[in-house]
Amino acid sequence: MLDRQTEVGRQTEVATSVAECTRLRELEETYCSHGDTVHYTQEPKIFERCEGSFIYDDEDRAFLDLQMWYSAVNFGYANPRLNEAMRRQLDRLPQVASQYLHREKIELAAEIAEGALARFGHKGRVHFNVGGAQAIEDSLKLVRNACDGKSLMFAFEGGYHGRTLGASAITSSYRYRRRFGHFGERAHFIPFPYHFRGPRGMTKEEHGHHCVQQFARLFESEYNGVWDPKAGKCEYAAFYVEPIQGTGGYVIPPPNFFPELKEVLDRHGILLVVDEIQMGFYRTGKLWSIEHFGVAPDIIVFGKALTNGLNPLSGLWAREALINPQAFPPGSTHSTFNANPLGTAVALEAMRMMQEEDFATSVAEKGAHFLDGLKELKAKHAIVGDVDGLGLALRVEICEPHDSFTPSKAIVDRMVDEALKGDLVHGGERFGLVLDIGGYHKNVITLAPSLTISHAEIDLALALMDQLFTRVTPR
């Protein structure tokens, strides 16, 4: 009798859940803008709660999240320590206008600036905002101010820096600009060393060197369009780079690429602006991903994981010469919510965690474990054309099985939908997977799991992906 009552109760809960989900979807369809990225899928998933590496739907089914809010939740969902830091701030100083100071802003800026001095040998200052694209906008002001108003920038093919108007101008995808008029200050886009789809017969290092030489030739003659040799001046002010391309598909360049590129930039007086919005805060095993390449940036832009996805906070660090109060005086840029105390309090606690825990070692170990498993999946499944990774920034390029090279967006789209059904079985339990799509051809699964993911959870991810690859492979 009890089992019967239990089953009836469960069916009632499911029916109630379905009815509520239907109600919410009707409201969303009527009142929510479709201008964001939600409606890339036909019927977007509604989630109810989250914890650690998992997010749960209204039936309390666990979905292992392998993208963690586009790398914003590096330290796990509902991280107790960071949540408690926000509660403490909420009870003490939850709000203060950005024209005034508070302790957390000052200490956080000092922490980031002192770390940059130790890593790159340059004194600098920090300016905060609320979102990655907004921090990119601030950096564009900083660059134009420092370069006598020059408004043209270099950026990479496959690069992504945001979707505000200024950020769209230096993001290579025309799709983000097409409906918003002519962008007279659109960046000059330079090829990135994407070895898997680069010229055949080259090593990674040779391909990286080739890409630098293609860029360097722009300065050989005034008729190549960017350089006045008589004045020794470039028409372009800065080069915006992601050391590891994010939306472009987690493309990882060879170690010689950025040192060689930096030599060209320094020779021609071009600033290096490093976008660490997605890769910063130990995603790759170092605080800043540019550290892997041994070059010193002029500006670093950051965001996302700084607050573990809690109260939004972003910002930039810049060399003293670019951002000192004489060069960039009060009022040069402003946001009502920049340096908000809830954000800075959580960020300061996150920075303390990064000092206390050896993420450099643990992320490298977990990333190597994950990548080894992905290589095994590549050997097993013809739809996997390429795998690569640096720390816990990993890529799986999905291709047509007949040649393991032709990009297959269709298979990836099907894979994401199947993963969200929540019916993959492991150890007698049902799971779903949260995956993100990137890449030049939208055929790359970009993996950004929590930095606190366990080795057992990595093994679970690999087992579920194995099932998923089998399920979506064309017969």
* pLDDT tens digits in sequence order for the chain, 475 residues long: 556 655 555 555 655 678 898 999 999 999 999 998 888 877 889 999 999 999 999 999 999 999 999 999 999 999 999 999 999 999 999 999 999 999 999 999 999 999 999 999 999 999 999 999 999 999 999 999 999 999 999 999 999 999 999 999 999 999 999 999 999 999 999 999 999 999 999 999 999 999 999 999 999 999 999 999 999 999 999 999 999 999 999 999 999 999 999 999 999 999 999 999 999 999 999 999 999 999 999 999 999 999 999 999 999 999 999 999 999 999 999 999 999 999 999 999 999 999 999 999 999 999 999 999 999 999 999 999 999 999 999 999 999 999 999 999 999 999 999 999 999 999 999 999 999 999 999 999 999 999 999 999 999 999 999 999 999 999 8
Question: Residue 39: what pLDDT?
Answer: 86
| Phi, psi torsion values for 140, nearest 5 degrees | -65, -40
Question: Residue 41: what pLDDT?
Answer: 79
Give me the torsion for CA of 281, 284, 289, 295, rounded to 10°: 130
Burial label, 12 (beta-carbon count in 10 A; 0-12, 13-18, 19+): exposed
Question: Residue 179: what pLDDT?
Answer: 95
Question: Residue 42: what pLDDT?
Answer: 77
Question: Residue 3: what pLDDT?
Answer: 67
Question: Residue 11: what pLDDT?
Answer: 59
